[in-house]
Chains A and B, each alone.
Chain A
Amino acid sequence: MEYFLELLLGGLTRGSIYALIALGYTMVYGIIELINFAHGEIYMIGAFTGLIVAGLLTMLGFPGASILAIALVCAVIWAAAYGYTIEKVAYKPLRGAPRLSPLISAIGMSIFLQNYVMLSQTSDFLPFPELIPEFGFMKGYNSIMSSSELVIVGATILSCIGLTLFIKFTKLGKAMRATAQNRKMAMLVGINVDMVISATFVIGSSLAAVGGVLIASHVGQINYFIGFIAGIKAFTAAVLGGIGSIPGAMLGALVLGMTEAFATGYVSSDYEDVFAFCLLVLILIFRPAGIMGKEKTQKV
Chain B
Amino acid sequence: MSNLTQDTSQQSAMSFFLTAGCDSLPHALKKSFLAAIWFVFLTFPIMVIRVDTIDKTVVWRWENMAYIALSIFFGSFVWRWLLARKELEKDETKGETKIEALLTVIQTTPTIKFSLLCLIAVIAVVAPLKFTFLGSKLQFFDLYQTNIMVSCLVYVVLGLGLNIVVGLAGLLDLGYVAFYAVGAYAYALSNMHWGLGFWFALPLGAVLGTLLGVLLGFPVLRLRGDYLAIVTLGFGEIIRLVLENWGEVTMGPSGISKIARPGFFGMKMSIIDSTIYMYYIMIGLVIFTIFCVNRLQNSRIGRAWLALREDEIACQAMGIDKMKTKLMAFALGATWAGMAGVVFAAKTTFINPASFTFWESAIILSIVVIGGMGSIRGVIVGAIILILVPEYLRDFAEFRMLLFGAIMVLVMVFRPQGLISAKRKIYKYKASNTASAGNE
* Real binding pair: yes
On chain A, the residues within 8 Å of B170 by CB distance are 100
Q: Does A235 contact B (CB under 8 A)?
A: yes
- The reply to whether B405 and A112 form a contact with Cβ atoms under 8 Å apart is yes
In-complex Cβ contact of B227 among A55, A85, A288, A300 (8 A): A288
Q: Does A115 contact B (CB under 8 A)?
A: yes
CB distance from A53 to the nearest CB of B (A): 7
* The stretch of A10-18, A118-126, A164-172, A175-183 that contacts the partner chain: A118-126
What 1/0 mask marks residues of chain B from 195 to 239 whose CB sits below 8 Å from any chain A CB?
Answer: 000000000000000000000000110111111011101110110
On chain B, the residues within 8 Å of A298 by CB distance are 312-313
CB distance from B145 to the nearest CB of A (A): 27
* The stretch of A1-9, A153-161, A194-202, A278-286 that contacts the partner chain: A278-286
On chain A, the residues within 8 Å of B39 by CB distance are 85
- The reply to whether B230 and A239 form a contact with Cβ atoms under 8 Å apart is yes
Nearest chain A residue, comparing its CB with the CB of B237 = A277
In-complex Cβ contact of B366 among A74, A108, A110, A120 (8 A): A108
- The reply to whether A103 and B53 form a contact with Cβ atoms under 8 Å apart is no
Q: Does A89 contact B (CB under 8 A)?
A: yes
- The reply to whether B45 and A280 form a contact with Cβ atoms under 8 Å apart is no
In-complex Cβ contact of B358 among A101, A115, A121, A228 (8 A): A228
Q: Does A102 contact B (CB under 8 A)?
A: yes
Question: CA A113 – CA B39 in complex, angstroms?
Answer: 14
On chain A, the residues within 8 Å of B306 by CB distance are none
Residue in A59, A100, A111, A274 whose Cβ sees the most chain B Cβ within 10 Å: A111
Q: Does A48 contact B (CB under 8 A)?
A: yes
What 1/0 mask marks residues of chain B from 30 to 73 whose CB sits below 8 Å from any chain A CB?
Answer: 00000000110111011101111110101000001000000000
- Chain B interface secondary structure, helix, strand, loop or mixed? helix
Q: Does A265 contact B (CB under 8 A)?
A: no
CB distance from B176 to the nearest CB of A (A): 13
Residue in A48, A90, A97, A108 whose Cβ sees the most chain B Cβ within 10 Å: A108
In-complex Cβ contact of A103 among B223, B225, B399 (8 A): B225
On chain B, the residues within 8 Å of A62 by CB distance are none
**Given A108-B407, A112-B406, residue A55 in contact with residue B412 (CB < 8 A):** no
- The reply to whether A104 and B42 form a contact with Cβ atoms under 8 Å apart is no
CB distance from B281 to the nearest CB of A (A): 31
**Given A35-B226, A101-B412, A111-B404, residue A300 in contact with residue B172 (CB < 8 A):** no
In-complex Cβ contact of B46 among A45, A278, A281 (8 A): A45
Q: Range of interface residues on chain A?
A: 35 or more
**Given A107-B362, A109-B405, residue A56 in contact with residue B51 (CB < 8 A):** yes
Question: CA A78 – CA B42 in complex, angstroms?
Answer: 7
Nearest chain B residue, comparing its CB with the CB of A279 = B234
Residue in A98, A228, A277 whose Cβ sees the most chain B Cβ within 10 Å: A277
Q: Does A20 contact B (CB under 8 A)?
A: no
Question: CA A245 – CA B168 in complex, angstroms?
Answer: 33
**Given A116-B402, A232-B233, A274-B241, residue A94 in contact with residue B45 (CB < 8 A):** no
**Given A59-B58, A104-B172, A239-B230, residue A281 in contact with residue B235 (CB < 8 A):** yes
In-complex Cβ contact of B45 among A49, A90, A285, A288 (8 A): A49
Q: Does A52 contact B (CB under 8 A)?
A: yes
- The reply to whether B64 and A103 form a contact with Cβ atoms under 8 Å apart is no
CB distance from A146 to the nearest CB of B (A): 20
Q: Which of A239-295 contact B (CB under 8 A)?
A: 239, 270-271, 273-274, 276-278, 280-281, 284-285, 288
In-complex Cβ contact of B245 among A114, A270, A288 (8 A): A270
Question: CA A115 – CA B56 in complex, angstroms?
Answer: 25
In-complex Cβ contact of A93 among B47, B58, B413 (8 A): B413
- The reply to whether B51 and A51 form a contact with Cβ atoms under 8 Å apart is yes
In-complex Cβ contact of B223 among A56, A74, A270, A288 (8 A): A288
In-complex Cβ contact of A277 among B56, B220, B224, B238 (8 A): B238
Q: Does B369 contact A (CB under 8 A)?
A: yes
Report the 5 A-B pairs with minimum CB-CB distance, sorted nearest first.
A108-B408, A112-B405, A55-B51, A111-B405, A277-B234
Q: List 29 A-B contacts (CB under 8 A).
A: A53-B45, A55-B51, A56-B58, A78-B42, A82-B42, A90-B412, A100-B170, A103-B225, A103-B229, A105-B413, A107-B174, A107-B365, A108-B366, A108-B406, A108-B412, A111-B362, A115-B399, A116-B402, A117-B46, A119-B399, A121-B46, A270-B245, A274-B238, A277-B237, A277-B238, A280-B230, A281-B219, A284-B231, A298-B312
- Given A81-B41, A232-B234, 18 new contacts (CB under 8 A): A49-B45, A52-B46, A55-B51, A56-B58, A74-B45, A101-B412, A104-B172, A104-B365, A108-B404, A108-B405, A119-B402, A122-B50, A274-B242, A276-B234, A277-B238, A278-B238, A281-B231, A285-B222
